[in-house]
Structure 1
């Protein structure tokens, strides 16, 4: 039976992620793949083909529902933990790919803790994160960055943050930057309760080979350093930071 190859590839990826217990990522793949199958089923005139597609849709829909319930239960119990291992030189790990699925209308504020948002390219990483937040979180009103000062370029660092803060006000978002010389943790906390801990912080991308190559702007095409991403959920975030 010939099913849309795009659906097969997406659903296979979903099963692969499901097996690795990367459930929230698997859920995104199942939902995308199911949409293609449902659309194909609606346009299918052959009865046996429709019956086959319906069976596949039910199969994956049941698995998706099971995962949804499991994630919900783990969140309620404060036991949710998902881990992504980024291999050295691998690609396909932009901020959107890594945790874009958690960025939605429920996010009203974001706390970014990263001691190394100091040099130009590190501040650009933070800028790209802010762009993603603006595009994805329609109710976002506050971003707080906790980082450290760069003694060599503290003036430029402050200027970059000022420029970004001014720009964010056009979207009714307030950016507050705080400095700590003892900060070690690297994590992104969303007001919806999701906590993303990246071992290397935002700066896990390797520099591009030159200024005119793939990956300069699209971070999914940029090679990465090896790092681990741990994703948790806490119901206490709003009380802590709200």
Structure 2
């Protein structure tokens, strides 16, 4: 999420106003670089300077503008605070989920929802096999979760291989998903590669998820009118291992 530092108005700026713009510009830059602790410190300092500058403003239009910008920065500072607290909790955490053959209750929502917050703007899926009908449906279902839960999501990148048997159909289906995501202000980037081996999902908020079978760890539903057809919580799973860790634990 980006916030424009649009505090400058026509006329003479006070020292506090000029300092606030400088500090908040830095806060936004650190925010974009996912340096949450540093961004939080700058947001807090910038907000104090902004409030101090607002005391001397006589123009009602400019005062209203300052109030609006202060509310925006306060809201973003709260997001940074939550992110910093989450990083402190992460520590050296490494969670491993062992899914046995036939298990249920491991939908995408169950696995990924706890990792989604307002700092997430990009998701990268590396999975060689997003080709067949059910695999592309799995990917669509995965995208739906993030459209629903990740309110600051800007893009999803899929790195996969081209279907040698019917690349045209694969492209048509992925293009349809691309157009659909665009309606929700999410950009889908497709990157084809023939050298993909590992399967993993990366969040630009720092989470890395490795799934032995990629997104395709669900068994086929009993039928199109059976429980589990649309809600993957009730789908039986293939045996696989899911490793969830944060990039700060491997630095």
Q: Shorter-chain-normalised TM-score: which range?
A: 0.5 to 0.7
Equivalent of residue 177 in structure 1, options 190, 194, 201: 190
Q: Verify: 1:161 aligned to 2:135, yes or no.
A: no
State the shift of 1:225 in Å: 0.3
Q: Distance in 2 between matches of 1:167 and 1:70?
A: 35
Equivalent of residue 215 in structure 1, options 228, 237, 240: 228
State the shift of 1:151 in Å: 1.0
8 Å CA contact retained: 2:93, 2:249: no
Q: Distance in 2 between matches of 1:179 and 1:226?
A: 27
5+ residue gaps, structure 2: 1-83
Aligned to 1:99: 112
Aligned to 1:132: 145
The aligned runs of 1:18-167 (5 Å cut-off) are 72-73=87-88, 75=90, 79-167=92-180
Q: Distance in 2 between matches of 1:99 and 1:211?
A: 25
8 Å CA contact retained: 1:193, 1:236: no
State the TM-score, normalizing by the size of structure 2.
0.63
Q: Distance in 2 between matches of 1:184 and 1:206?
A: 22
5+ residue gaps, structure 1: 1-68, 238-242
Helix, strand or coil at the partner of 1:181: coil
Q: Distance in 2 between matches of 1:118 and 1:93?
A: 22
Q: Distance in 2 between matches of 1:235 and 1:141?
A: 23
Aligned to 2:199: 186
Q: Distance in 2 between matches of 1:173 and 1:70?
A: 27
Equivalent of residue 211 in structure 2, options 195, 198, 202: 198
Q: Distance in 2 between matches of 1:169 and 1:236?
A: 34
Q: Distance in 1 between matches of 2:183 and 2:220?
A: 31
State the shift of 1:145 in Å: 0.2
RMSD over aligned Cα, in angstroms? Answer: 2.2
Q: How many residues align?
A: 168
State the shift of 1:75 in Å: 3.8
State the shift of 1:152 in Å: 1.1
8 Å CA contact retained: 1:89, 1:226: yes
State the TM-score, normalizing by the size of structure 1.
0.65
State the shift of 1:139 in Å: 0.7
8 Å CA contact retained: 2:228, 2:235: yes
State the shift of 1:235 in Å: 4.0
